[in-house]
């Protein structure tokens, strides 16, 4: 869409930049191209362009200075209709599922009219338009699989989930009602009362012993829920150095907070640590503050979300396609996002588990069995993956982790289509 609008804008600019003419030419009847009945463009004109696109869509999607039927036809053929699943054509779904510029009070009715036009066009097209897949392989739904924890690089992330702490003295017993996926447990103390001093024997504490792989500078982060200004402080003792951790309240949310220096313009607190075992004690300062996860990292830009996102491994058996034992394991995450809590699904990584290397030509993630162009990252993937070498399992995407693609469709299952998939020669 953007490219299309921009190119139209550029064309429009080119026209506008012509020197203005003084004489106004007499009106000329527009040249109507000869179109035989049954010609796809004639059908397009009669069924979609004249009754719908021209009056209701092209005021935004076209500029008047262009021969609109041709441009409109090209636009429609560029992936906006789908011969294989006409009801999935974007010009239909945009109106039906997103209520995009319906022209009557009834978007569903409008979408039906568009669909009737698309069907009429599809019936006369010589070449089908749309994305076909050699294979559509459906996976298990998420709810059938158990969450997996991800393996963070132990040199970069020294992790302290509350559940791995010892002696949660005076902190309430480990609580597990966190709404937040992977971080399921936390410690806290009763709200109210005076703040506790450092070393107060009645204060709640939780202790972690961690192994620092390489001596150097580290930063401390914690995953906390801090209801308000009276419940947002802890003491943290790391390798015998005690620091006060005062963080912005996070109200009803779990949030990552970094240990900062306590001065007027706080900076990340640098902790210079020796290699080997180090003790970390988190002590109650203000009641009501909840602590669920501690983290030491040498990274200035740690990826913290990975510790509180629930991942699932979803297996897609492709042995019937390649005629040898082979499975694609998709490590995916899901979450509800936005005001309407639309479900989003992301693929963190794909692995090919097979005895023989498999040649993959383009992968299309299918959400609700349908391939949406806007989720196209994986379509770039081509290569040979799997086989006996474990290092060859990862189907590299070139994309960033965690957000490889997402869908906003309410579905719990995902599937993959492939342009082709075969045992590597
Ligand atoms: C008021 C201006 C306006 C009108 C009228 C309008 N659109 Fe759009 N349309 C947009 C804008 C802006 C976008 C890009 C933002 C988005 O995706 O919502 C867009 C995006 C789209 C897209 C997705 C991007 C693409 O090019 O594939 C489709 C499909 C679409 N419109 C179809 C239609 C159809 C069919 C109609 C007529 C029923 C229509 N639009 C009427 C402004 C409009």
- Bridge partners (DSSP) listed for residue 276: 212
Nearest CA to ligand 1 atom 18: 100
**Ligand 1 atom nearest residue 79's Cα:** 27
Q: Is the pLDDT of residue 15 over 50?
A: no
> Does residue 57 line the site of ligand 1, with CB under 6 A?
yes
Nearest to 47 by CA among 90, 105, 91, 107: 91
Q: How confident is the model at residue 90 (pLDDT cuts 50, 70, 90)?
A: confident
pLDDT at 7: 32
Mean pLDDT, rounded, for 263-292:
95
Could you tell me how far CA 24 lies from the centroid of its own chain? 54
Distance 30 CA to ligand 1 centre (A): 26
> Does residue 100 line the site of ligand 1, with CB under 6 A?
yes
Mean pLDDT, rounded, for 360-374:
67
pLDDT at 114: 96
pLDDT at 203: 94
Distance 363 CA to ligand 1 centre (A): 27
Please give the DSSP secondary-structure letter assigned to residue 172. Answer: P
Span 231-252, pLDDT tens digits: 999 999 999 999 999 999 988 7
Q: How confident is the model at residue 383 (pLDDT cuts 50, 70, 90)?
A: confident
Q: Residues 209, 285: contact at Cβ < 8 Å?
A: no
pLDDT at 338: 54
* Segment among 110-124, 171-185, 250-264, 290-304 with least mean pLDDT: 171-185
pLDDT at 97: 81
> Does residue 90 line the site of ligand 1, with CB under 6 A?
yes
In this predicted model, which residue has the larger pLDDT, 330 or 192?
192
In this predicted model, which residue has the larger pLDDT, 30 or 221?
221
338 dihedral zone (left: phi>0; alpha: psi -120 to 50; beta): left
Q: Give every CB contact of residue 117 below 8 A, 6+ residues apart in sequence.
A: 47, 48, 51, 52
Nearest 5°: the CA angle 355, 359, 362 is 135
| Residue of 8, 57, 89, 103 to mutate, ligand 1, most atoms within 8 A of C-beta | 57
Nearest CA to ligand 1 atom 30: 91
In this predicted model, which residue has the larger pLDDT, 383 or 344?
383
What percentage of the chain exceeds 90 in pLDDT? Answer: 39
Span 387-423, pLDDT tens digits: 999 989 988 654 433 334 444 444 556 667 777 788 9
Enumerate the domain spans of the chain: 2-8+33-124, 135-148+310-423, 158-301
Span 121-163, pLDDT tens digits: 999 998 887 766 655 555 555 565 666 666 678 888 999 989 8
CATH 2.60.120.260 for domain 158-301, yes or no, is yes
* Segment among 95-109, 118-132, 187-201, 323-337 with least mean pLDDT: 323-337
Question: Alpha-carbon distance 17 to 200, whole Å?
Answer: 78
pLDDT at 184: 65
Q: Is the pLDDT of residue 272 over 80?
A: yes
Span 30-86, pLDDT tens digits: 455 566 777 999 999 999 999 999 889 887 876 554 457 888 888 888 778 888 778
Question: Alpha-carbon distance 30 to 234, whole Å?
Answer: 77
Strand intervals (E) in 87-179: 135-141, 147-148, 158-161
Could you tell me how far CA 51 lies from the centroid of its own chain? 38
Distance 315 CA to ligand 1 centre (A): 37
> Does residue 48 line the site of ligand 1, with CB under 6 A?
no
Burial of 176 (0-12, 13-18, 19+ CB in 10 A): exposed
Distance 27 CA to ligand 1 centre (A): 31
Nearest CA to ligand 1 atom 1: 60
* C-alpha dihedral, 139 to 143 to 146 to 149, nearest 10°: 90
DSSP code per residue over 201-212: TTS-EEEEEEEE
> Does residue 95 line the site of ligand 1, with CB under 6 A?
yes
pLDDT at 399: 45
Q: Using the Cα atoms of residue 99, residue 100, residue 105 and residue 111 in order, give the sign of their dihedral.
A: negative
Q: Are strands 255-258 and 241-246 parallel, antiparallel or unpaired?
A: unpaired
Distance 90 CA to ligand 1 centre (A): 10
pLDDT at 77: 84
| Residue of 6, 51, 60 to mutate, ligand 1, most atoms within 8 A of C-beta | 60
**What per-residue string of b and e applies to 134-152 under the rule 16 or more CB within 10 Å gives b?**
ebbbebbebeeeeeeebeb
Nearest to 82 by CA among 33, 132, 17: 132
**Ligand 1 atom nearest residue 4's Cα:** 26
* Segment among 109-123, 128-142, 277-291 with least mean pLDDT: 128-142
Q: Is the pLDDT of residue 213 over 90?
A: yes
Q: Is the pLDDT of residue 357 over 50?
A: yes
Q: Using the Cα atoms of residue 125, residue 126, residue 131 and residue 136 in order, give the sign of their dihedral.
A: positive
Mean pLDDT, rounded, for 311-316:
78
Q: Residues 258, 190: contact at Cβ < 8 Å?
A: no
> Does residue 158 line the site of ligand 1, with CB under 6 A?
no
* Segment among 128-132, 258-262, 358-362 with least mean pLDDT: 128-132
* C-alpha dihedral, 73 to 77 to 83 to 89, nearest 10°: -90
Q: How does the average pLDDT of the chain come out, rounded?
A: 79
Question: Alpha-carbon distance 61 to 55, whole Å?
Answer: 11
Maximum mean pLDDT: which of 185-189, 200-204, 279-283, 325-329? 279-283
| Residue of 101, 110, 408 to mutate, ligand 1, most atoms within 8 A of C-beta | 101
> Does residue 91 line the site of ligand 1, with CB under 6 A?
yes
Q: Give every CB contact of residue 125 below 8 A, 6+ residues apart in sequence.
A: 40, 83
Distance 100 CA to ligand 1 centre (A): 7
Question: Alpha-carbon distance 132 to 224, whole Å?
Answer: 47
Separation in Å, CA 399 to CA 335, 364, 381, 396, 409: 20, 14, 10, 8, 21
* Segment among 47-61, 195-209, 286-300 with least mean pLDDT: 47-61
* Segment among 182-186, 367-371, 413-417 with least mean pLDDT: 367-371
Cα radius of gyration (the chain): 29
Q: How confident is the model at residue 18 (pLDDT cuts 50, 70, 90)?
A: very low
What percentage of the chain exceeds 70 in pLDDT? Answer: 71
The whole-model pTM stands at 0.48
> Does residue 96 line the site of ligand 1, with CB under 6 A?
no
């Amino acid at each position: 869409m953007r490219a299309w609008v921009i190119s139209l804008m550029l064309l429009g600019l080119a026209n506008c930049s012509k020197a203005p003419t003084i004489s106004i030419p007499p009106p000329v009847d527009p040249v109507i191209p000869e179109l035989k009945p049954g010609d796809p463009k004639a059908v397009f004109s009669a069924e979609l362009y004249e009754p719908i696109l021209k009056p209701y869509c092209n005021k935004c999607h076209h500029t008047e200075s262009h021969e609109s039927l041709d441009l409109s036809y090209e636009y429609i053929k560029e992936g906006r209709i789908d011969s294989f699943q006409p009801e999935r054509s974007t010009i239909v779904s945009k109106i039906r599922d997103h209520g995009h510029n319906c022209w009557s009070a009834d978007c569903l009715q409008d979408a039906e009219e568009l669909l009737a036009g698309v069907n009429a066009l599809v019936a006369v097209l010589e070449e089908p338009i749309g994305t076909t897949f050699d294979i559509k392989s459906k996976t298990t739904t998420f709810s059938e699989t158990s969450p997996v924890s991800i393996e963070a690089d132990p040199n970069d992330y020294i992790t302290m989930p509350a559940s791995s702490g010892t002696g949660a003295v005076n902190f309430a017993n480990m609580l597990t009602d966190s709404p937040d996926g992977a971080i399921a447990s936390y410690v806290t103390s009763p709200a109210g009362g005076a703040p506790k001093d450092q070393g107060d024997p009645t204060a709640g504490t939780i202790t972690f012993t961690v192994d620092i792989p390489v001596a150097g500078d580290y930063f401390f982060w914690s995953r906390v829920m801090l209801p308000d200004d009276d419940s947002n402080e802890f003491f943290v003792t790391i390798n015998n150095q005690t620091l006060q951790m005062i963080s912005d309240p996070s109200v009803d949310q779990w949030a990552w907070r970094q240990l900062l220096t306590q001065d007027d313009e706080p900076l990340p607190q640098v902790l210079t640590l020796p290699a080997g075992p180090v003790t970390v004690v988190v002590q109650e300062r203000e009641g009501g503050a909840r602590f669920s996860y501690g983290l030491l990292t040498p990274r200035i830009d740690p990826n913290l979300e990975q510790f509180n996102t629930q991942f699932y491994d979803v297996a897609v058996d492709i042995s019937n396609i390649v005629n040898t034992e082979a499975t694609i394991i998709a490590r995916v995450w899901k979450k509800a996002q936005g005001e309407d809590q639309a479900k989003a699904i992301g693929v963190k990584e794909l692995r090919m588990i097979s005895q023989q290397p498999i040649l993959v030509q383009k992968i299309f993630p299918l959400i609700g069995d349908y391939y949406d162009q806007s989720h196209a990252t994986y379509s770039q993937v081509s290569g040979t993956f799997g086989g006996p070498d474990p290092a060859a399992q990862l189907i590299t995407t070139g994309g960033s982790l965690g957000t490889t693609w997402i869908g906003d469709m309410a579905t719990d299952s995902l599937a993959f289509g492939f342009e082709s998939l075969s045992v590597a020669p």
